[in-house]
Copies of this chain bind each other. A is one copy, B any other.
Amino acid sequence: MMRSGQVTIKDIARELGISPSTVSKALKNHPDISVETRKRVNDLAKKLNYKPNAIALSLRSSRTKTIGLVIPETVHHFFSSVISGIEDVAYDAGYNVMIFQSNESFNREVIATTALLDARVEGILISLSRETRNYDHLKNILKNGVPVVMFDRVCDDIKTDKVTVDDYEGAYNAVSHLIRSGCRRIAHLAGPPGLRITDLRRNGYLEALRENRLEFDRDLMVYCDNFNQAQIRTKQLMNRIQPPDAIFTVNDFTATGVIKSLHEMRIRIPEDVSVIGFSNGLISQVTYPTLSTVDQHGYEMGQVSVQLLLDRLYNRQAEQPFIHQVLKTELIIRESTRRTRKNS
């Protein structure tokens, strides 16, 4: 048995055969920990005369109980869902959430991180702007001892916890579904070149074609990720000598442009051309026909991201390896794609 007065969280953990982080949370009566475990930990801590050290205490008293969030855009339903997931978990844990919108601007992103540090937030959640190629502002946050979790738009250059969705698999599943339903000439309206999600979703699309021995027709892949452009591109695609019999778009909003254009050309959906999007935003329920799509689980991404951040805050001393959590997507089949044997 160790001497009292020098007892640490690790000692209690070893004694009870549980992790130090569980002990730390139990001592704070964190709701993640079962009532039983909290009782065992607190009983032992009392028995051993465990005292949290002075530095930890002083740190705690200066805490703002605020988490900072930097998000590219609030207008996308996906990011709104992420915010909701973050806030629901954070407020339950007694934290509030201070939000800055970068509006896809690198400059605003840098200003936002500085303002968050000035406001003494305890941790920062960030999804990078499209422009961000330099990461000094993130390094600066970490240098200040403030933990960071990156979500959705992450980078490899910085070591933090990360949460992304399996974009490759989501695209692969969407295109596989089209192929199973009998589509053979599948077009892809892709995101901007160079973005990680563009590459992953395109690669998922290509892999599904390859696996089903369908030839990739370069003319059927177009960089186009918005409503207005989609209407123009769809008309161009449908006026080809060999038009597509399905269109897979990088997001739902682009798919709505495709649908609008097909209506105008009196092309039936899904009988003549199937359409499938990506995101499962509110919009996918209101198109006519309703839109098949890939759910990105934005709300869950928010929850997981803030939980990883809270874990870092609850275990400031513990050096745990960084986690990159990849969430599974979910294929949502509605009316804009044809039935397959499996879902008919």
Contacts and interface: CB of A to CB of B under 8 A. Distances in A.
Interface of A: 64, 66, 73-75, 77, 79-81, 83-84, 87, 91, 96-101, 103, 108, 111-112, 115, 118-119, 227, 253, 256-257, 259-260, 263, 282-283, 285-288
Contacts of A79: 74
A91 B77 CA distance: 24
A87 B101 contact: yes
Given A227-B285, A288-B287, A119 B103 contact: no
In the assembly, how many copies of this chain are there? 2
Contact of A77 (B75, B103, B115): B75
A260 B73 CA distance: 28
A101 B100 contact: no
B100 A100 contact: no
Contacts of A87: 101, 103, 108
Given A98-B119, A100-B96, A119-B119, A80 B75 contact: yes
A42 B282 CA distance: 54
Given A74-B80, A74-B83, 19 more contacts: A66-B115, A73-B80, A74-B74, A74-B79, A75-B80, A75-B84, A75-B282, A87-B108, A96-B111, A96-B115, A98-B98, A98-B100, A98-B119, A119-B119, A283-B286, A286-B286, A286-B287, A287-B287, A288-B288
A253 B80 CA distance: 16
